[in-house]
Amino acid sequence: MSLPVPNLDDRRFQDLVDDAKRLVQLQCPEWTDHNVSDPGVTLIELFAWMTDQILYRLNRVPDLHYVKFLDLLGVTLFPPTAARCDLTFWLSAPREDDTVRISAGTEVSSIREDGAEPIVFTTEETLAILATSVEHVAAASAGGAIRRHDEDLVRDVGFRCFADPPVPGDALLVGLATAVPSCAVRLHLDCRVEGIGVDPANPPLGWEAWDGSGWIPCELGRDETGGLNRAGDILVHVPREHQESIVGDALAGWLRCVVQPPERGRPDYDASPQILGVAAVTVGGSVSALHAEIVKGETLGLSTGLAGQRFTLERNPVVPGRETPVLEVLSEEGVEEWTQVTSFADSVADSGHFMLDAGEGELVLGPAVREPDGSLRYFGAVPPRDTLLRLRSYLTGGGPRGNVARGVLTVLHTPIPYVSTVENRRPAAGGVAGEDVENAKVRGPLALRTGDRAVTAEDYRALAKEAGPSFARVECVPVDGKDGAGAVRVLVVPSAETDKGRVRFEQLVPDEMQVAEIAQHLESRRVIGVRISVEPPLYQGITFVAKVRAEGDADPARVRIDALDALYEYFSPLSGGPLAAGWPFGRPVHAAEVFPVLQSVRGMGPIEEVLLFSADPTTGVRSGPLERIELQPHALVFSYEHRVMVIS
């Protein structure tokens, strides 16, 4: 996207004339004839015209020169980025032997409301919802010994799935007839109430799947068995890495339910549950989707036979997807496929290359440069005159509008056999508006200094931001310990919509695909011998508990709400800190630091007491009170359920 030109002085001829006439009324009240025929007004208009010419030239310097130089150097605005989420397709009924396929490019949208256009997401890859069943059942001890129980279930004898009493690491293994990557499996377990001692609503169990080299966590949809203590269904979302493997001399797609280590406040098993029967069916599957619509086979027009041609797409901005856009050049000899490049620097006269300005939605062909001897040097091939050009497909969309809440995407644009409903079980994230010119003016010199090579910490920050413009913050910190030599740690914080500083913890987990893209981008630009790690920061949860008084006739409820807003805004990883640009990485938190934050609240009286607690954002376990919480260089604060009590 080309950089917009700043307007240093927006006054025009008529504005200058009006300003001069107002001054005349103040300085010379006896001058009452302001008609255009008056000689004085004529002189005013003459000087206004001359001043307008000066302002016209002034508006071309100095910011204009700065922006234009950046434009000449190839610095363009980042286009909007598209939000991503997983879409779950639910079957109308389990299939016994058929595979239901959800094709890449399937569109799902929100419901049209109040005349606004629906928000459309497009699946990025094909999803295969595979039929399955239970082939094998086994139990494994924490020490690794495996006992097969296939015959026990056939004889309706049942078996104890864990040791007695169970210990962390004991597991119930379920071998499926085939691996079911990215599928939702409903397990029906017939259990006897013998696994006593646990909380049925929060049993110490975790579901995992085998990925070929180890066990990885599964997302648990629901558990009706109360911790394997009664007959019911368990819905397990199997990760995409699931593979068949041999466990206990049996080849199957293995899942396991493993006893978790003790956790504060959660009771453990006193006795092992007993399993009487296990069955499994596939009821759905999940696939990644992008906030974008797909445009297929758009005709750009006819070639003029000249170099440097430009074609404007019907839709913009263009969102990058899994597949790179392909330009089809149609001639009598057939269809020639041209590839997209980021620069024509390495293109020659017969290179079928094109560039795509994603923000403006403009396709550009290679230019021709005249050499000193008068000949033309072509940077890319030129389609013959009257040749038809067609863009095979591209994605358009993006922006913060795609950051929808969970359960919003429910409308399937094209009916799919055996699929009843679709939903996004988690909020979409990653949608960011296009870059503004002020940020590009800051980024331009950094891009020139790095020279597309990462040497200093600032280089890594600039290049990581270039590869991941959707991230709100990027930081490069040293790696401590004996492994720190030659290692670079790049921290990324996703963009997320905040409500007066509040942000959900899951919104701060970056998309794995985007993290991999940044790592790949830095890998090809690092100094030889440097090891790169791209990861989210370590989030240190904090909780402030304050007792305050309302001043005078101030509303205590209003003071409490404003005080909580102030705490969340100041101690925010995205917009908090002394500079309101996000809490600094590694900056410690002091209990005394909260006093000026609370005192700035309107209607706040004396602050009676302030306590600072350390909190785990995932479990909610707190410790303290503390005077100070130290943060490691790769850590950020996360506000976790602050509490304010206002007394009048």
Cite the beta strand spans of 151-218 per DSSP E: 159-160, 171-176, 183-192, 205-210, 215-217
Of the candidates 568, 549, 573, the one whose C-alpha atom is nearest the C-alpha of residue 631 is: 573
Evaluate whether 141 touches 245 at the Cβ level (below 8 Å): no
Note the pLDDT of residue 264.
67
CA–CA separation, 222 vs 234, rounded Å? 6
Q: How far apart are the first and last CA of the chain?
A: 56
SS3 280: strand
| Amino acid residing at 63 | D
Note the pLDDT of residue 7.
67
Decide the pairing of beta strands 334-340 and 326-331.
antiparallel
CA–CA separation, 565 vs 204, rounded Å? 35
Using a cut of 0.85, tell me whether the model's pTM lies above it: no
- According to DSSP, residue 244 is labeled -
Note the pLDDT of residue 89.
95
Where b means 16+ CB within 10 Å and e means fewer, 482-499 reads eeeeeebbbbbbbbbebe
Evaluate whether 583 touches 572 at the Cβ level (below 8 Å): yes
CA–CA separation, 110 vs 401, rounded Å? 12
Instruction: Give the phi and the psi of residue 17 in degrees, each rounded to 5.
Output: -65, -45
Match 């302030």 to its residue by tokens: 610
Assigned fold of 134-281: Jelly Rolls (2.60.120)
Note the pLDDT of residue 272.
84
CA–CA separation, 133 vs 384, rounded Å? 59
Of the candidates 476, 645, 440, the one whose C-alpha atom is nearest the C-alpha of residue 561 is: 645
CA–CA separation, 525 vs 601, rounded Å? 48
DSSP 506-541: GGGSPPHHHHHHHHHHHHTTSPTT-EEEEEPPEEEE
Cite the beta strand spans of 152-291 per DSSP E: 159-160, 171-176, 183-192, 205-210, 215-217, 219-223, 232-237, 245-247, 250-259, 274-290
> 3-state SS of 358-381?
CCCCEEEECCEEECCCCCEEECCC
> Which tokens go with 48?
């206004």
Low-confidence ranges of the chain (pLDDT < 70): 1-9, 60-64, 193-195, 264-265, 449-451, 481-484
Judge: domain 437-496+506-532, CATH 3.40.50: no
